[in-house]
Chain A
Amino acid sequence: MPTTTLHIRRGGPGEAPRHDVFELRFEPGESVLDALRRLRIGTDPTLAFRYACLNANACKECMMLLDGRVVYACTARLEARDMRLDPLPNKTLLRDLATVIAPPDERLD
């Protein structure tokens, strides 16, 4: 059975960077976001990433780095190989793959 291995950067600001490794069943046609949501339900509900619209590429929240390249997780296809996920490098890190992307005048502080 083909599998995907996700290497996911974990932790918050100031923590030593580490990548947790998750092996999951490869589902043809799935997006990377689908796989992340599946991981939260089945394996680790604390895994943090951003999304609202699931699949439509409307909310533009799920931007992250896939193998060092900026993608929307909802439009990046899952592949049966090792894939590395990191938070956006030029944004303030919240935790794991989630970063501060709200416009400055729509933040609390």
Chain B
Amino acid sequence: MYAAIEAVRQGAASVLLLDRSLIGRGGATVMAQMTVAAAVGPGDDWRHHLADTLAAGRGLCDPALAALLCEVGAECILEMDRWKVGWARAGNGFAQVQAPGHDRARCVYVDFLSTGPAVSKALRAQVQRVGDAIRRIGEVLVTDLVVQDGRVTGAVALHVASGVALTIAAAATIIATGGLTRLYARNSASANMSGDGYALALRAGATLLDMEFVQFFPIGHLAPRLIGMDPIMWDPFRYKLGGRLLNGAMQEFVERWGGDAENGTYSTTRDLATYAITKEVEAGRGSPNGGAWLSFTHVPAATLRAAFGPVIDRLAANGIDLTRDCIEVSPIAHYHMGGVRVDTAMRTDLPGLLCAGEAVGGANGANRLSGNAITEALAFGRIAGAEAARQAAEGAPDFSAAAAREALALLAGEGPAQNPAALVARLQRLMSTDVGPFRTAGGLARAAAELAVLRAELGTTPPGAPGLAHDLARLDWLDLRQMLLVAEAVVVAATARVESRGAHQREDFPEMSPAWERNLPLRLRAGANVPELVS
């Protein structure tokens, strides 16, 4: 949405904003209950934020992209404030909390647990304010990009509500589809984060990098079952209140796995906390449902209510009283550091194709710093929108319907009945089991073999007849086609990287190696099913 707004501000006359769900209601941003990192506090500077971002990235950040994230991101946060997003205030400035990995309190937020919905709402309002130059169409699943002589000239898509296939011509196309969390059984984003953008870019001929780096959020909600709450909600609780992470015997354990004593604060980085919880469970000291306990029982009721007011009532409706009850948490797929390779104008290797947000690879290296995801979405959206407007001003190439023929044929296909929802569930299980935060050569080989089996079962034609309104079986089939390719990319890169770094931990190669302080780019050869490493 930021890209669309900026494109019009920079002179684009006609912007088409497509979303595979309702506009601004799916994806990751609307789900983010947590905080947003930006150097907007007194005495802070985007260079300090950059230093923390680079340190978290374990040597693999693209410094130029990381600098844009921090510098442009801070400007975007201030612009969002002018757009009345409602950042919480303290005194004359923003209320800011210190998240793990930051050198100071740098993270703004919207109370109570409303950061993501507030950001989405403010952007939706701005998009509408821009007026008719932005045409918004929801429920459109882009299935392939159209490529003519190495240049992206548009896309082919399925209009989910009607089942009709669409062809779209564009002078510039921006991928802003987010990450790949749906590849995992337990994840913290919407059901539509299938890695679409990575698959679209690969099939068109663009390059991906850092695909092995999937960030697991260590304290995703595990039990008891909560309804109507985001599984990452305990992060803002820990920012404000500290809390204690305990094993099945109600003992603190992070120190045992290389962390520092937290003493009621929130200081352990995500990769270490994920490691510590997983190892503690493996050692037989997990909580009853296979995670860790998170306790706020030492925090007075009045303090809890002051920090989270209405959320305390929603917890009570779920039968939870934090002054009395601990909850169980465990790692959950949360974000993907890798993505499409771009330059500092968000241009991919292919003319006419840009990328923005989480779908971009390289800015966050091997491990993303807390709070950088929305900052990145805003900053890269703004840059990509400006560049798209510049390219559109140079004129659009002639669109060739012939170049869209193969992609349209896929959507017109009528295949045998099958259950792609069950295949998606199988993919999620295998990725969680063998391509989670901790990997081995054996597990990755097993995953590669199972992906090949799934691809064979998927076949080459979506089930049933085309043209049915809201046909979830065909939608799942089309999603799984993309998810399998993206899963292959993760497995290929994770197999190649024989070291442990940030979010990629190889149990058979536990050390970080200086020789591996480099990115792994991937491309898909025409006609191939599995992407290959390129030098």
A77 to B225: give the CA distance in the assembly, Å. 11
Could you list some 12 contacts between A and B, CB below 8 A? A52-B27, A53-B31, A53-B190, A54-B190, A55-B229, A56-B230, A58-B117, A59-B22, A95-B468, A96-B470, A98-B470, A101-B22
> Which residues of B line the A interface, CB within 8 A?
21-23, 25-27, 30-31, 33, 116-117, 136-140, 159, 161-162, 164, 166, 190-192, 224-231, 418-422, 424-425, 464, 468-473, 476
- Residue A75 at the chain B interface, CB threshold 8 Å: yes
- Residue A46 at the chain B interface, CB threshold 8 Å: yes
Cβ contact within 8 Å between A48 and B161: no
* Nearest CB on A from B316, distance (A): 14
Cβ contact within 8 Å between B162 and A108: yes
Cβ contact within 8 Å between B470 and A60: no
Chain A residues contacting B21 (CB-CB under 8 Å) are 52, 59, 61
Say whether, besides A41-B425, A59-B25, A108-B162, A48 and B471 are in contact (CB < 8 Å).
yes
* Nearest CB on A from B445, distance (A): 27
| Residue from B138, B231, B425, B473 in contact with A102 in the complex, judged by beta carbons closer than 8 Å | B138
Cβ contact within 8 Å between A45 and B472: yes
Cβ contact within 8 Å between A74 and B25: no
| Residue from B25, B226, B476 in contact with A61 in the complex, judged by beta carbons closer than 8 Å | B25
| Residue from B116, B166, B230, B476 in contact with A55 in the complex, judged by beta carbons closer than 8 Å | B230
- Residue A3 at the chain B interface, CB threshold 8 Å: no
Chain B residues contacting A75 (CB-CB under 8 Å) are 227-228
A45 to B328: give the CA distance in the assembly, Å. 32
Cβ contact within 8 Å between B22 and A61: yes
Chain A residues contacting B468 (CB-CB under 8 Å) are 12, 95
Chain A residues contacting B33 (CB-CB under 8 Å) are 56
A42 to B422: give the CA distance in the assembly, Å. 7
A107 to B191: give the CA distance in the assembly, Å. 21
* Nearest CB on B from A27, distance (A): 8
Among B116, B140, B164, B422: residue with most chain A CB under 10 A: B422
By beta carbon, the residue of chain B nearest A105 is B136
Chain B residues contacting A101 (CB-CB under 8 Å) are 22
Chain A residues contacting B140 (CB-CB under 8 Å) are 108
**Contacts A37-B421, A45-B422 given; 10 further ones with Cβ under 8 A?**
A30-B225, A31-B227, A41-B421, A41-B425, A45-B418, A56-B228, A58-B117, A59-B25, A61-B22, A107-B137
- Residue A94 at the chain B interface, CB threshold 8 Å: yes
* Nearest CB on A from B482, distance (A): 17
Q: Is the interface of A mostly helix, strand, loop or mixed?
A: loop
By beta carbon, the residue of chain B nearest A56 is B230
Q: Give a binary string over A1-40; 1 marks a CB under 8 Å from any B CB, 0 the rest.
A: 0000000000010000000000000001111000001001
Cβ contact within 8 Å between A60 and B25: yes
Say whether, besides A45-B422, A45-B476, A52 and B25 are in contact (CB < 8 Å).
yes
Q: Is the interface of B mostly helix, strand, loop or mixed?
A: loop
Say whether, besides A45-B476, A106-B22, A108-B161, A55 and B227 are in contact (CB < 8 Å).
yes
* Nearest CB on A from B129, distance (A): 13
Cβ contact within 8 Å between B228 and A57: yes
A71 to B30: give the CA distance in the assembly, Å. 20
Say whether, besides A98-B470, A107-B138, A108-B140, A55 and B231 are in contact (CB < 8 Å).
yes
A95 to B163: give the CA distance in the assembly, Å. 11
Chain A residues contacting B225 (CB-CB under 8 Å) are 28-30
How many residues on A have C-beta within 8 angstroms of the other chain's C-beta atoms? 42
- Residue A65 at the chain B interface, CB threshold 8 Å: no
- Residue A80 at the chain B interface, CB threshold 8 Å: no
Cβ contact within 8 Å between A52 and B137: no
Among B138, B162, B472: residue with most chain A CB under 10 A: B472
- Residue A83 at the chain B interface, CB threshold 8 Å: no
Cβ contact within 8 Å between B472 and A59: no
Chain B residues contacting A55 (CB-CB under 8 Å) are 226-231
By beta carbon, the residue of chain B nearest A72 is B228
Among B26, B464, B469: residue with most chain A CB under 10 A: B469
A28 to B227: give the CA distance in the assembly, Å. 12
Cβ contact within 8 Å between A53 and B227: no
A2 to B337: give the CA distance in the assembly, Å. 43
Chain A residues contacting B31 (CB-CB under 8 Å) are 53, 56, 58
A48 to B22: give the CA distance in the assembly, Å. 16
Say whether, besides A59-B25, A106-B22, A52 and B228 are in contact (CB < 8 Å).
no
Chain B residues contacting A52 (CB-CB under 8 Å) are 21-22, 25-27, 190-192
A95 to B116: give the CA distance in the assembly, Å. 30
A95 to B472: give the CA distance in the assembly, Å. 10
Cβ contact within 8 Å between A40 and B26: no
Chain B residues contacting A54 (CB-CB under 8 Å) are 190-191
* Nearest CB on A from B70, distance (A): 27
A85 to B39: give the CA distance in the assembly, Å. 49
A42 to B117: give the CA distance in the assembly, Å. 32
Say whether, besides A45-B476, A98-B470, A107 and B190 are in contact (CB < 8 Å).
no
A73 to B528: give the CA distance in the assembly, Å. 41
A31 to B229: give the CA distance in the assembly, Å. 12
Chain A residues contacting B137 (CB-CB under 8 Å) are 106-108
Say whether, besides A45-B473, A59-B25, A61-B22, A51 and B117 are in contact (CB < 8 Å).
no
A48 to B138: give the CA distance in the assembly, Å. 17
Cβ contact within 8 Å between A102 and B139: yes
Chain A residues contacting B224 (CB-CB under 8 Å) are 29
Cβ contact within 8 Å between B469 and A94: yes
Of all A-B residue pairs in the complex, the 8 with the closest CB atoms, nearest first, are A29-B225, A52-B26, A75-B228, A56-B230, A94-B470, A57-B228, A98-B470, A45-B421
Cβ contact within 8 Å between B191 and A102: no
* Nearest CB on A from B226, distance (A): 8
| Residue from B22, B161, B190 in contact with A94 in the complex, judged by beta carbons closer than 8 Å | B161
